[in-house]
Chain A
């Protein structure tokens, strides 16, 4: 457990200590028959924490009376009422800033962006105030807000609605960035995000909200900065984040049929980045392919590969490879969008290239 110096306010220190205790509990099994949707897992996480802590409220467009644009918050208005589940007008900059002020005062806002694409009009709050408040106030006020919503291509939404913001936002120090790939992780990570006193950007995907899996009814908290090894092998390391992890698993199955076995690391958080697990895998396989739904230039993949080169260069038997979205604005046409995104074919090809097979 981290040692806390007296510089940190005692109430915040107590909350961190509580979170650390919760994170030490062993996680429940991923196997089981309580199959629910990704969106329901998110709702469970928020609901459980809101029942416990009245400082938490949910604010966003259509979260209350409409029951959520994507039904994540369905039924929450009925349980918590309009003072805690709050419909906002379309004013991302305004309500993101409102959350900053409310968090500084001592509340714990959860802000839903219908899409992270729309967070760009709140960029000043998200990039100036949220990550920097603790620093520029000399440690007097942090900004414990969870901003969450859909990130990435939603299905023929065109250029403006298909943003993957992680490459942009990960550039700024002072925020934690969480990106789950499945319902089980979504619940456990969101609960940790809500309890963490630091600001968290929580990136979901419209394309995954209907995904179903076993999610334990009990409460559990997944630590940040710990990747999950979702597939095990010896020939190559595949590193990914969020929705593309599922493409990597498809690719892994296909490669296994050809006798090629890979590690698939689901990073779960981008900041912190579990570079130690990546390096341990690379040490074993000697090869790495990073699959990232951002554009390639100055992306999360670039960062992972840089860190691998900085710290594990001697273990590499082939230059690191990356599979990003194509380096163009997101197209509308179905075939072009499919060609634009990372997919299992591109991943299989990259792994084979790293093995000198293509």
Chain B
């Protein structure tokens, strides 16, 4: 089946909101327990609150470097990660705080990393763009656009190799069928790394799902200005012999309805897939983006269809438990207060945490440091990572 290409949008064209899912359209997600759905709302609200605190800390110059916030895209990380098992590996790009929190990293470890403190997830050696969490199977935020997609392919390759070739897990336990998620932004669609990775995955039956968090802009370039076939990215998947899907990323339950069965298929068949996940970021590309490439009206239109508002409204108005709203107004406000407290405390925790000792400069370079590796001085093993 071929589709006529849509007219290319100009740089200033208003990006229309995809058709909203009507409440009541929900499928398998609606059958999930109340607690699960409330947890999803909570996760999304945590990310939003956390990112607002990051913006504040960045403006106060507490956070250095580049800082890419996830506000607006919360449903994407929460919906996809909650479609996985905890030990399914994931890897993402540099807009990674949301994935880290949704995967279970503490707000403290995440914030302390950005403050460059030794209590951060990478002991202050990674920063905002490099969130790693071994216990939660998050194999990093990665800074170079698209470079994480072959890594995600390798994670899935290894997971398949584990049960198929080794017959046990690399750590010695029983092996099982897994999938890996490799997140990328729409800007990464045009990096060679992605295309090499997708070809390898299609060819070698690697159970990786490439998730394009398509927020419409690679920095200031609208997707149509940088990407062919932007109106139907599934064509790219087709070219590499894998299933492609377009999924509404504005509604976490709709997302789950479509994404969870896809994950199950990839796990069962040990095959790759590709998802064009429609989303939108409310803030700039990074904290230093004046956003002259889009109108305020466009941003407002998306904000009026906010994924958190939608989920909260569903739980507080439409969904009933024992005849009463599933989430009461009081419980909602209590949750808000609790999350605010968690994020405020993460700022305090980060502020009060020690900076890395200067000796940490020469640690974690090698697992097996040897004399004469460097003309400067010998490498050593560093302090224990607080997550491990």
Contacts and interface: CB of A to CB of B under 8 A. Distances in A.
Contacts of A100: 150-151, 154
Given A88-B200, A101-B91, A138 B165 contact: no
Contact of A89 (B199, B380, B387): B199
Contact of A94 (B124, B126, B199): B199
Contacts of A93: 150, 192-193, 196
Contact of B155 (A2, A89, A104): A104
A253 B231 CA distance: 71
Contacts of B154: 97-105
Contacts of A138: 120-126, 132, 364, 382, 385
Contacts of A303: 375
Interface residues of A, number: 68
Contact of B158 (A9, A84, A105): A105
Given A7-B382, A89-B199, A128 B147 contact: yes
Contacts of A88: 200
Residue among A4, A103, A135 with the highest chain B CB neighbour number at 10 A: A135
B20 interface: no
Given A91-B200, A102-B154, A134-B364, A55 B122 contact: no
A225 B381 contact: no
A285 to B, nearest CB: 20
B134 interface: yes
A122 B200 CA distance: 15
Given A6-B384, A101-B157, A137 B132 contact: yes
Given A135-B364, A138-B120, A97 B151 contact: yes
B234 to A, nearest CB: 21
Interface in B354-376: 363-375
A97 B373 contact: no
Nearest to A84: B165
A274 interface: yes
B161 interface: yes
A136 B384 CA distance: 14
B368 A197 contact: yes
A48 interface: no
B122 A94 contact: no
Residue among B89, B120, B157, B388 with the highest chain A CB neighbour number at 10 A: B157
A141 interface: yes
B204 to A, nearest CB: 7
Nearest to A223: B370
Chain B contact patch, size range: 35 or more
B100 interface: no
A16 B195 CA distance: 37
Given A124-B193, A140-B134, A173-B374, A135 B365 contact: yes
Nearest to B149: A97
Interface in B107-153: 120-126, 130, 132-134, 139-140, 142-144, 147, 149-153
Interface string B239-283: 000000000000000000000000000000000000000000000
Residue among B120, B147, B151, B159 with the highest chain A CB neighbour number at 10 A: B151
A101 B155 contact: yes
Contacts of B368: 2, 16, 19, 196-198
10 contacts: A6-B384, A55-B166, A55-B170, A93-B150, A94-B196, A98-B197, A102-B157, A128-B147, A134-B367, A140-B133
Interface of A: 2, 4-9, 11-12, 16, 19, 54-55, 57, 83-84, 86, 88-89, 91, 93-107, 124-125, 128-129, 133-142, 144, 173-174, 176, 196-198, 224-225, 271-276, 303, 306-307, 310
**Lowest 5 A-B CB distances belong to which pairs?**
A101-B154, A97-B150, A94-B196, A106-B170, A138-B122
Interface of B: 89, 91, 120-126, 130, 132-134, 139-140, 142-144, 147, 149-159, 161-162, 164-166, 170-171, 180, 192-193, 195-197, 199-200, 203-204, 363-375, 380-385, 387-388
Given A8-B367, A102-B157, 5 more contacts: A83-B165, A94-B196, A97-B151, A144-B367, A173-B374
